[in-house]
A and B are shown apart, each in its own frame.
Chain A
Amino acid sequence: MAGEIWAIGEIVDGQPTRLSRELATLAASLAATAGRGARSVLVGAGAGDAAQALAAHGPDVLAVEADTADRPAATVIAGHVAALVREHQPSFLLVGASNDGRDVAGILQALLEWGTLVNAAGVAWQDGGPQAEMSVFGGRLSTLSHLASDHGIVIVRPSAVTAEEAAQPGRVERAEPSDVPELAAVRVVERIREASAAVSIEEAPVIVAGGRGVGGPDGFGVVEDLADALGGVVGATRAVVDAGWIGYAHQIGQTGKTVKPALYVAAGISGAIQHKVGMQLSGTIVAVNRDPDAPIAEFADLMVVGDLFEILPRVSAAVRARRGG
């Protein structure tokens, strides 16, 4: 039988990440179309427990207990997955486009000498292999690509699919691969938690983003309030991150995150190309800007000319009134 499709998961705070759940659902649906087997793989401390949660999405889970206390998770995951691949000979690996996921994919690419499709916004099964949809050249084109071999890695962006529970949960199988390749040691000295890092703007259905027009760190108050009213999260431009008004985890654009929410509200944002590439595929774009000629007018759906400090609070109040009444 042709090789399996594997979803390589990640554990954060003892649970499989949302992206891992999406990959499990994706692996199951691709495998169903392809008539192949699917499996999830979880490596790390507490893999057994996290695997129970991941198994709800259908594919059986290979769980490898491994110590990640003082080593970066990616090196531990990649080494064990490489050993499991040699043992089980799957054909395709789906890896998440998170920081750790990209590291895992890069290490596996070199260890396995497999081709890699990067940054897939969607994956279909086509002509005997995965076909990835990717936005390229600043969003000017959307490409469909495939692997020119019967093996490979696909790096999948958040929200390419919606995670779904399967009617029949998978089984959890403990694995202890042998001959795990030894990767050069990196030691974790300290892990620091920061509340601001925990925002997952890549997964949010609504983003209200603020730019230099908010005028200062306090100016984000009206942005946060509207995000709260709309049930969304706060995004930002690089200009305000560089200014220290808000954390880098909120930055959207070329050197920040790429997002695709149903609604993107841009407040006091000019719409520079480096910002545009990170948000132009949003479903609906509403801009609030004092300058009618700001570049964002060229790709917004609704361009509201005016002062964000006068307009945003009124929108928040109206949205809340609608919800309430």
Chain B
Amino acid sequence: MRIVVLLKAVPVVGNEKLVDGWRVDRSAGLEANGNDEYVLEAGLKLIEQHGGELVTLTMGPTPALEAIRKALAMGAARAVHVQDPALAGSDALATGRVLAAALSRMEYDLVFVGADTSDGQGGVVGAAIATRLGSPYLSYAARIEPDPSAGTVRVRRISATGYDVIEAPMPALVAGTQLLGEPRYPSLRGIMQARSKQIATWSLADLGIDASSVGSGASLTDVDSATPPPARAGATVVRDAPDVAAERIVEFLAARRLI
């Protein structure tokens, strides 16, 4: 079984360094996107079960290497890093185009993506890539069960009313959620082994993509302004005994017309 996991390196939530007012500084302090670690974990378990190889694919600047190395230490066999100065400021549309081009140069039975990213918040890149590749797309996975002998994959997909069991032939693209289970910590041995694992770096030229079709210049979305939300006044603290405390909560809610 060959699995490619799409791993985005994102700024640490709540700790983003902002420059020019609203641009996030991606020159340091990136970590693997939370949802991407869940699908990575699910992929590693499947490789342990079925054998094969798990490769990560990341598009991002040099500091993304920290997240890539962690994935290698967790158990990925090797990594592909798409990196090009022209990619800075790419929108979701360009990201989907670039990652689809990279995947079309790789061999796999399954591609895993996270349900969404903590910085982009789009949750659209996976569906866009699957559409470009003409692959089946199975999203919001809480469980992923490939059947290598039948050449199919089954997914438990979270729906508005419960869940659906959906199935498609492989190769297929699966978008996964936290319900896949807690990611492992890299072991000391894993960290040592990661040092000799291969990280291939691909440029836009390697992918045959015109630099003018990506990056901030080609982005079809632009930010007009960024402002901090109105600050909260600071909490009123209540330390009274339960009877009085409850009374004070009710008075507070009533004063704000919430009850």
**Chain A positions near chain B (C-beta within 8 angstroms):** 12-13, 17, 72, 74-75, 98-100, 102-107, 109-111, 113-119, 126, 131, 134-149, 152, 155, 183-194, 197-198, 206, 230, 238, 242, 248-249, 251, 254-256, 262-263, 273-274, 276-277, 280-281, 284-287, 292, 297-307, 310-311, 314-315, 317-319, 322-323
Contacts and interface: CB of A to CB of B under 8 A. Distances in A.
Nearest to B155: A186
A107 B128 contact: yes
Interface in B33-77: 34-35, 38
A293 to B, nearest CB: 11
The 10 A-B residue pairs with the shortest CB-CB distance, nearest first, are A115-B220, A106-B127, A314-B246, A194-B162, A106-B124, A273-B14, A110-B131, A310-B242, A303-B235, A118-B122
Given A144-B225, A184-B137, A311 B160 contact: no
Given A110-B128, A311-B246, A189 B154 contact: yes
Given A118-B124, A140-B228, A186 B140 contact: no
B164 interface: yes
B229 interface: yes
Interface in B208-252: 219-229, 232-233, 235-239, 242-243, 245-250, 252
B11 to A, nearest CB: 7
A304 B182 contact: no
Nearest to A273: B14
B237 A137 contact: no
A242 to B, nearest CB: 7
Interface string B161-191: 1111111100010000111001000000000
B258 A262 contact: yes
Nearest to A281: B229
B128 to A, nearest CB: 4
Interface of B is mostly: mixed
Nearest to A304: B238
A192 B155 CA distance: 13
Contacts of B162: 191-194, 197
A72 B224 contact: no
Contacts of A317: 246
Nearest to B11: A137
Interface of B: 11, 13-14, 16, 18, 22, 24, 34-35, 38, 91-93, 96, 115-116, 118-132, 134-140, 142, 154, 157-168, 172, 177-179, 182, 219-229, 232-233, 235-239, 242-243, 245-250, 252-254, 256, 258-259
Contacts of B118: 138, 254, 277
A99 B158 contact: yes
A187 B167 contact: yes
Given A117-B221, A248-B179, A305-B238, A185 B168 contact: yes
Given A102-B124, A135-B229, A298-B235, 8 more contacts: A118-B92, A141-B227, A147-B221, A148-B222, A184-B134, A194-B162, A255-B178, A274-B34
A183 B168 CA distance: 12
Contacts of A110: 96, 127-129, 131-132
Contacts of A119: 121-122
B131 A306 contact: no
B138 to A, nearest CB: 6
B137 A300 contact: no
A193 B162 CA distance: 4
A142 B227 contact: yes
B218 to A, nearest CB: 9
A138 B159 CA distance: 26
A107 B132 CA distance: 9
B120 A194 contact: no
A287 B91 CA distance: 38
Contacts of A276: 14
A100 B160 contact: yes
B249 A302 contact: yes
Contacts of B254: 322
B220 A301 contact: no
Contact of A192 (B163, B168, B235): B163
Contacts of A263: 253, 258
B161 A118 contact: no
A251 B116 CA distance: 15
A264 to B, nearest CB: 10
A280 B231 CA distance: 11
A155 B136 CA distance: 22
Please indicate which of the listed interface residues A126, A183, A206 has the most CB atoms of chain B within 10 Å of its own CB: A183
Please indicate which of the listed interface residues A139, A141, A284, A322 has the most CB atoms of chain B within 10 Å of its own CB: A141
